[in-house]
């Protein structure tokens, strides 16, 4: 179930009447249904169940792949085997692929390099992985046609999550982070129509002396080149979506019931001018005191600590902007605190 990115092609008739081959959208096919024998996969899963060879770490891997669609070898290594060399993670993934639990596809190095991601193999859930999570194997659930742009987008969201986990892990056992993906973090109206789909929702907690500090924030990855000044643009819709979320009993959302205030919205974008233009567009469209933090991807990736990196331009509740210039940028948490005494999450503003 390992394959490479391929072009699919079709024959069309040109204006001159001659047939010609046309390349269609380039896709990554993780698991093709014609190559899946359901009975074989079921037998492999039964063997694993009887032997007990699927570990808690393996199940965590499958859950993460379901959440993010794809993860690179580098991300899996840092996330689940942080104290081992990368080869250990690779060997385990290879073993799991023999039981159809994971599949994979290799994407061109240029796209990962341009976003400063280490060029490594990319993994998805295999037919057996879906079967393990869903309790049954079928071809429809294991077929995965992943658009090339979506693969890169999902890898970037996963990278944000992995860096967040690394930052929290470095702060000790008092700290934790919970993550809700796009589906779990989405907002719907009373008619069950989708209003907003964030790329993720993170809730950072610190438990100390029977007191819990909490810092929730949505993640929005902006990698497009779309003009964002119009209300009809993606960002016009997104800002309107967050306004709707804020004003329509957000406390009733299953992921936010325990949050002290509406989460910040963290926007990671590219290009200094785009960041400033996007900030002005958000201010133009925003009708509620939702707080936005905005950072450049390159600066965030080059930083050592996701939580204390001074890379964020902040749109405050009252419409002010903190961090017009790079040297004025803010961090999510107070900085320069000894590792043995991690800073508590900043106070989330009460609306």
Within a 10 A sphere around the Cβ of 349, how many other Cβ atoms? 13
Is residue 10 within a helix (H) or strand (E), and if so which, with residue range?
strand 9-13
Phi, psi of 77 (to 5 degrees): -60, -50
Query: Is residue 132 assigned to a domain?
Result: yes
pLDDT of amino acid 346: 43
The whole domain housing 242 covers 170-328
Domain check: are 138 and 281 in the same one? Answer: no
Query: Is residue 347 assigned to a domain?
Result: no
Domain check: are 8 and 115 in the same one? Answer: yes
Confidence grade of residue 50 (pLDDT, cut at 50, 70, 90): confident
Domain check: are 130 and 214 in the same one? Answer: no
Domain check: are 81 and 29 in the same one? Answer: yes
Domain check: are 99 and 188 in the same one? Answer: no
Asked which of 37-51, 52-66, 158-172, 175-189 is least confident by mean pLDDT, the reply is 37-51
Q: pLDDT tens-digit profile of 319-338?
A: 999 998 989 999 999 875 44
Within a 10 A sphere around the Cβ of 317, how many other Cβ atoms? 12
Residue located via tokens 């958000």: 282
**To the nearest whole percent, how much of the chain has pLDDT over 90?**
60
> CA–CA separation, 258 vs 187, rounded Å?
17
pLDDT of amino acid 248: 95
CB 299 within 8 A of CB 324: no
> CA–CA separation, 1 vs 351, rounded Å?
50
Phi, psi of 27 (to 5 degrees): -130, 160
Domain check: are 300 and 251 in the same one? Answer: yes
Query: Is residue 127 assigned to a domain?
Result: yes
Domain check: are 300 and 227 in the same one? Answer: yes
Confidence grade of residue 257 (pLDDT, cut at 50, 70, 90): very high
CB 105 within 8 A of CB 28: yes
Asked which of 163-172, 216-225, 246-255 is least confident by mean pLDDT, the reply is 216-225
> CA–CA separation, 147 vs 126, rounded Å?
17
Higher pLDDT, 176 or 17: 176
Query: Is residue 337 assigned to a domain?
Result: no
* Structural domains counted in the chain: 2
pLDDT of amino acid 322: 95
Domain check: are 321 and 175 in the same one? Answer: yes
Closest CA to 94 of 86, 83, 103: 103
Query: Is residue 349 assigned to a domain?
Result: no
CB 243 within 8 A of CB 249: no
User: Is the pLDDT score of 89 beyond 50?
Assistant: yes
Higher pLDDT, 30 or 75: 75
Domain check: are 180 and 276 in the same one? Answer: yes
Higher pLDDT, 281 or 18: 281
Q: What sign does the CA torsion over 322, 326, 330, 336 have?
A: negative
Query: Is residue 81 assigned to a domain?
Result: yes
Domain check: are 180 and 113 in the same one? Answer: no
Reduced to 3 states (helix: H, G, I; strand: E, B; else coil), residue 294 is: strand
Domain check: are 112 and 182 in the same one? Answer: no
Q: Which of 100, 131, 146 is the last residue of a domain?
A: 146
Reduced to 3 states (helix: H, G, I; strand: E, B; else coil), residue 306 is: coil
The mean pLDDT value of the chain amounts to 82
Domain check: are 118 and 187 in the same one? Answer: no
pLDDT of amino acid 115: 93
Q: pLDDT tens-digit profile of 183-233?
A: 999 999 999 999 999 999 999 999 988 899 999 999 999 987 555 555 446
Query: Is residue 22 assigned to a domain?
Result: yes
Domain containing 46 — which CATH number? 1.10.10
Tokens of 250: 């957000």
Query: Is residue 333 assigned to a domain?
Result: no
Measured N-to-C along each axis, helices 73-80 and 148-169 cross at an angle, to the nearest 10 degrees, of 20
């Amino acid at each position: 179930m390992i394959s490479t990115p391929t072009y699919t092609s079709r024959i069309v008739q040109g204006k001159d009447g001659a047939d010609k081959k046309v390349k269609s959208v380039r896709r990554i096919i993780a698991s093709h249904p014609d190559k899946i024998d359901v009975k074989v996969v079921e037998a492999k899963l039964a063997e694993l169940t009887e032997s007990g060879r699927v570990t808690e770490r393996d199940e965590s891997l499958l859950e993460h792949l379901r959440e993010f669609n794809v993860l690179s070898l580098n991300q899996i290594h840092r996330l689940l085997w942080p104290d081992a060399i990368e080869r250990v993670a690779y060997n385990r993934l290879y073993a799991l692929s023999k039981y159809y639990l994971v599949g994979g596809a290799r994407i061109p190095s240029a796209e990962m390099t341009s976003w400063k991601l280490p060029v490594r193999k990319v993994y998805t859930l295999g037919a057996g992985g879906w079967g393990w999570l869903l309790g049954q194997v079928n071809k429809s659930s294991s077929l995965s046609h992943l658009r090339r742009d979506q693969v890169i987008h999902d890898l970037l969201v996963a990278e944000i999550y992995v860096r967040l986990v690394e930052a929290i892990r470095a702060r000790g056992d008092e700290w934790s982070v919970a993550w809700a993906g796009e589906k779990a973090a989405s907002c719907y109206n009373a008619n069950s129509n989708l209003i907003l789909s964030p790329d993720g929702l993170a809730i950072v907690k610190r438990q100390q002396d029977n007191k819990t500090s909490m810092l929730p924030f949505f993640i929005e990855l902006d990698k497009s080149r779309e003009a964002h000044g119009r209300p009809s643009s993606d960002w016009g819709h997104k800002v309107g979506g967050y306004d709707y979320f804020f004003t329509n009993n957000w406390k009733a959302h299953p992921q936010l019931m325990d949050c002290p205030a509406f989460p910040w919205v963290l926007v990671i974008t590219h290009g200094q001018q785009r960041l400033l233009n996007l900030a002005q567009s958000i201010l133009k469209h925003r009708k509620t005191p939702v707080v936005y933090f905005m950072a450049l991807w390159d600066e965030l990736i080059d930083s050592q600590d996701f939580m204390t990196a001074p890379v964020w331009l902040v749109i405050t509740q009252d419409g002010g902007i903190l961090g017009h210039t790079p040297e004025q940028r803010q961090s999510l948490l107070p900085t320069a605190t000894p590792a043995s005494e991690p800073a508590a999450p900043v106070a989330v503003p009460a609306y």
